Structure formats: C-alpha cells, structure tokens
A and B are shown apart, each in its own frame.
Chain A
Amino acid sequence: MKKSIDLINERIRDGNAHVVTAEEMPLIVTELGEEEALKEVDVVTTGTFGAMCSSGAFLNFGHAEPPIRMERVWLNDVEVFAGLAAVDAYVGATQQSTTQQSVYGGAHILEDLIGGKSIELRAISHGTDCYPRRTITTQLVLDDMNQAIMVNPRNAYQRYNAATNTTDRTLHTYMGMLLPHGGNIAYSGSGVLNPISNDPKFRLIGSGVPIFLGGAIGTVVGEGTQHSPAGAFGTLMTCGDMKQMSNTFVRAATMHGYGVTLYLGVGVPLPIIDIESVRSTAVTDRDISVDILDYGVPSSNRPSIRKVTYEELKSGMITINGEDVRTSPLSSLKRARIVADTLKDWVKAGKMQLTLPAVRINPDKAGKPMRETAHVPRVIDIMDRRFIPIDEESPIKVAAETLLKDETNHLPVVNKKGQLVGIVTTYDVSKAVARPGNKTCVRDIMTKKVITTNPDEAVDVAIQKLERHNISALAVVDRENKVVAMLTAIALGKLFEQRWSR
C-alpha cells in the first residue's frame, strides 16, 4: 500500500490528519505493525535544538539618502560580510565582536533582532559616482529591514560524535567543557528526534520541503555543507524568514574557550507515504550509534574510545574501561521535544501543507578533508639534533659546564637506557649553586615532569604546549621515550622568519 501526498494534505486541510512525533512512532509501529501504522499515521514530526555554528542571515537594509555602496559593515561592532552589492550583508553566527570578542557575536545579533532590540549599523565605502556616500551610522530594528532571511549552510546533523578527553587537563571545546582523564562525556543532537535519522535515505527530506526553523515555517534549501550521508553524517541547508522567528528557538551562546555559536531549533515533518517511511521513522535511540572521540588528540582524526548509542548517552552514565562516566548533552532535549510538538500542532491545525522533495538530496555522498598543497611544518623540520643529554647521576657542576659549553639553557636528563627522566635548566643550576642544601647530582635538581613533543607533531601543536606551560623548550622523544632532539623557542623564531620572507 502507498499513500499519496495529496491524500495526506487533504487530511491536513480537513483537520483529520493523524500526526505523531518521532518519539511516539516506534511504539505505534510495534503495536500496530508496519501496514497498520502506514494506514493510521499520516505525519511524523521531528525536532532538534542545539548548537548550529554554521548559521547566519542575509539582511537587506534598504538604500540611504544619498546612497552608499557599503563595503565594510559592522552591526554592534560585529563585522558582517558585505561583498553583496550595496546594501545587503550576511551575518555569520560565529563572527565575533571586534570590541567584545566571545561575549557578543553574530549569533547575538540574530537573537537581538528577533527579540525586537535595536542594532547599530556602521558602514564605510570609498564612494562612487552612483553611490557617493562614504560613511553611515544608524540604529535598526528587524522591521526596518526589507528582508532578514536566515540561510544556514549546515544544520541538523544526522547524528554527532560524542566527546571525551583523556589528557590530564580540562579542555574547552565546541563540545563544551571536557574534564581531564575521561571525566565526562558530552554529546550533541537529539537522537530519535533528529530529522535526518528518521529519513537517512533522503526520500522525504529534500529541496523545497517545509520545515520548522527557529519558530518560523522555513524550507530545506538542499544538502548542507559537509553533507556526508555515506558515513551517516548528512546535513541540511535551511532557510526561513527571521521576522517570523522567536527567541525561544533562536539563542546565542558562548562556548568558553571556543567562542560564539547559535542554538537553533529545527524540525522536519515527514509524510508517511509508504512502508519504507514507516520503517525509517520507527527508528529508536538504540538504533543510532556514534563514536566517543578523544578531544585530547589535537587532530581532525581523533581516535574513537568506543561506540555508544543515543539510548546509552541519554541514560546519563556509561561505562568506559570498567569505570562509570557521566554523560550530558549540549543540545536541549526538552526544547527538541517542544519543536516536534509545535510542528505536530501546526500540521494538525492545517497551518502547513507538506510536499515531497522538489529536488532529491544525494543520500550516498561522502565528505573529504581539505587538500593541502603546502607542507605543514612538523617538529622534525626545525628540531635541534645537536643536543647534549646529561646523565641523571652527573654532579651538578657537570651540568653547569655543559650548559656553558653548549650555550644552551636546557639539558635533557636521561637514565642509563637513554630514556628521558627530567630536564635541567640554567635556572635550576643557578638555584642549586646559590642554595646548595644537600643537593649533589642532577637528579636532585631536575624537573621530573617534562613536557615533550615528537618528531611528527605539527609545529602549531608544539607551540601550544610551550605557551600553555610557559616554557621555552620541549624535549623531542621517540616512541621509546628516548630523547632525539630539543625544540626551542629560538628554532620557532627561525621558522617564522622563513614564513614571512616567502
């Protein structure tokens, strides 16, 4: 059996459509069976409410008198993209204020405009025959604009990998605060309510399909950027009229240490037209699994600690290597439900008619990493192999002599096997001479907790280590913890000279 979209719309118009949320659907299918569920249910609504960094809006300000061709535009000191003719601009959600940085950004402009607040516009131009004006400053509210159209390049991720951190320090990421030693797990997305998880083959979601966006009726533009459904990471590009949106579903946020982002509510109503749409909307949290990635590894290829389902994540606690670890979401499951419920009410009330995709979204595409044509500098390129290790049992005087002879400030301290056990600096030696106490050998004065790097590490990652620990050299060690070189701030200075002179 099949059900036409026209029949479903007729039922919606008549107020007879049977609409349920994606949370309610699995039980209905279990109780009635697929055939009966197809007869019974007309529409399944989905919803998610969480951080969607890749969002923004096109604004048209109207022409001033005399007119100006705005070349650079700031809204409340947040620079917006103005390379769009004369009086249009695109506000990107994560763009940060020139003056307030992560406290205020593009997302706050969107929230403030929707909340009815006044925004200061400043723009400059070089002046042309047709657009003579060079500067303008004015206050605008949302109603003053001809259009304020939210167009979000990447929304509603099908699912998102969870995050943990195995390093010994707290990390501040776009996945929120991650405690050291795998102390917590953060996850994103609403699992069973996620729109694409209920239509992973993109049979129902596609260009032109009406959706819930920030409290307004919007539409799917097409596939989102980084759309990668081959790995179950599909995304959507969405658009909607900001003038119809509400602050309940459009909220600015700041992830500490990361920056500004936008929390947004998105939902898609799915018409139940055939058995396959019944099956895909019968998905449960148990069926949707993600990896828990270690954000302690500063790479885009973060290792997976284990797989986990949304059911486990939502339980608040999972086990990793025999230890209980608490989980918590960054997305609001409460508001995701409100999105799905609101959509349900809209469809029931005949406020929206459904359509099938005008153009289908590719369900098999795979994203790829950036092609890099320039060599990314690694520690091996600039490390200093001419270092002198010192034995941990050497007298302090030998350390002093070695430092003098080599005109260096850092000596890696090794054991009999050549493995790194500490580091000694000129400061340590000076202190030992000034206040001898009963210290006699290098082991007594060395710093035992040495910050290390390895030859393959990207230089930028090594620089972060120097900065974070406020030190000027790193020991470069191999897999056996044997010292192979030193990396000093001086070598880094040379690297930057090269960068700039090219």
Chain B
Amino acid sequence: MKLLVSVSRKQGKYPIIAQVVKETGVLVNVERAMIDSHEGELLIDVPDDSCELVRQKIAGLGASVRILDRGIRIDTRECVDCGACISICPQEVFSFGDDWGILVEEEKCVICGKCVIACPHSALFLSGEIPERPF
C-alpha cells in the first residue's frame, strides 16, 4: 500500500520516517521524496497489513497522510495504444500485450507524473476521476 506523507517545514527537520520505522519495526520503502525549505512530500510503500499502524504513527507525529489506493489512470477513449509512455516510465508500469495494446500495472506506479506529460493524447491522469470531455 502506498502512502503520501506531507510534512511542514518545521516537521521536515524531524526524522519522522526513521522514527516510525524504529518504533513500529515496519520496513518502509521511500519511493519518492521531495523536500525543500517550505514543505516536503514523500511517497512511501508499506506492507498492506501494517499500513494502518504506520499511518497512525505518522499522523501522530504531526504529518498528514493519505492512502493512495490508485496510481496512474488511463482514459481508454483517448489512448491510441502508441506506447510513448512505456520507455520513459522509471517503474515499468506500462507494457505491450500480445496484440500491442497497452497494459498498465497500476500498483507499480509511484506517481512521478512523467507519463502524464509524455502522453501525446492526454490520456493519463494522476489523481481523481478521468474528466468528462466538454464536448
């Protein structure tokens, strides 16, 4: 299960993840981290059965946590199965099936967003629902 952890500047100086690992003994995998002088955002992967424990622990340390139950979303009406997303994805989320159709392994996604801008057909979305096209 993937968790998106947001920390404020003050908390950024406190070793939240290290503290959580130490106290819970859960091996947390940091898949992506962006920390600057104002705020930080970390994407972590934890085993499903300890997800709630980790979530509570992090929240208890003052950071906000959101469970990401979905990775990249594909709008099949827009996708033409070209494959522009395949070789640029660092996680190898996309691949071709036997008929050259695009296969998506959503659980591998670390929500880096590279494919969203690489898609020539604007068929990929990071969060929320796939938008209704206006016309």
Residue B67 at the A interface, CB < 8 A?
Answer: no
Identify whether the interface residues of A are mostly helix, strand, loop, or mixed: strand
Residue of B85, B121, B135 near A328 (CB, 8 A) is B85
Query: Is the CB–CB distance between B100 and A176 below 8 Å?
Result: no
| Nearest-CB residue, chain A, relative to B120 | A253
- A121, chain B: closest CB distance, angstroms: 17
Query: Is the CB–CB distance between A334 and B84 below 8 Å?
Result: no
Q: Could you tell me which residues of chain B, from 77 to 128, have a CB within 8 Å of some CB in chain A?
A: 80-88, 95-96, 99-101, 114, 117-118, 120-122
In this complex, the interface size class of chain A, counting residues with CB under 8 Å from chain B, is 20 to 34
Query: Is the CB–CB distance between B96 and A176 below 8 Å?
Result: no
Q: Could you tell me which residues of chain A, from 461 to 486, have a CB within 8 Å of some CB in chain B?
A: none
| Nearest-CB residue, chain B, relative to A177 | B118
Q: Give the docked Cα–Cα distance between A184 and B84 (Å).
A: 11
- A246, chain B: closest CB distance, angstroms: 13
Query: Is the CB–CB distance between A337 and B100 below 8 Å?
Result: yes
Encode A439-480 as 1/0 by CB contact (under 8 A) with B.
000000000000000000000000000000000000000000
Which chain A residues border B117 with CB–CB below 8 Å? 172, 177, 256
Q: Give the docked Cα–Cα distance between A256 and B101 (Å).
A: 22
Query: Is the CB–CB distance between B82 and A331 below 8 Å?
Result: yes
Which chain A residues border B96 with CB–CB below 8 Å? 316, 333
Residue of A112, A253, A332 near B83 (CB, 8 A) is A332
Which chain A residues border B120 with CB–CB below 8 Å? 51, 176, 253-255, 261, 263, 330
Q: Give the docked Cα–Cα distance between A326 and B101 (Å).
A: 17
Query: Is the CB–CB distance between A185 and B87 below 8 Å?
Result: yes
| Nearest-CB residue, chain B, relative to A190 | B100
Q: Give the docked Cα–Cα distance between A330 and B119 (Å).
A: 9
Query: Is the CB–CB distance between B81 and A332 below 8 Å?
Result: yes
Query: Is the CB–CB distance between A326 and B86 below 8 Å?
Result: yes
Query: Is the CB–CB distance between B114 and A177 below 8 Å?
Result: yes
Q: Give the docked Cα–Cα distance between A176 and B120 (Å).
A: 8
A and B contact pairs by CB, cutoff 8 A, 7 listed: A176-B84, A176-B88, A177-B88, A251-B80, A328-B83, A328-B88, A335-B80
6 smallest A-B Cβ distances: which pairs?
Answer: A328-B86, A184-B87, A253-B120, A328-B87, A334-B100, A326-B87
Q: Which residues of A contact B (CB under 8 A)?
A: 49-51, 112, 117, 172, 176-177, 179, 184-186, 251, 253-256, 261, 263, 316, 326-335, 337
Q: A50-B82, A263-B120, A332-B80 are known; give 20 further A-B pairs, CB within 8 A.
A: A176-B84, A176-B118, A176-B120, A177-B84, A177-B118, A179-B87, A184-B87, A185-B87, A186-B84, A186-B87, A251-B121, A253-B120, A255-B120, A316-B95, A327-B87, A328-B87, A331-B82, A332-B81, A333-B81, A333-B83
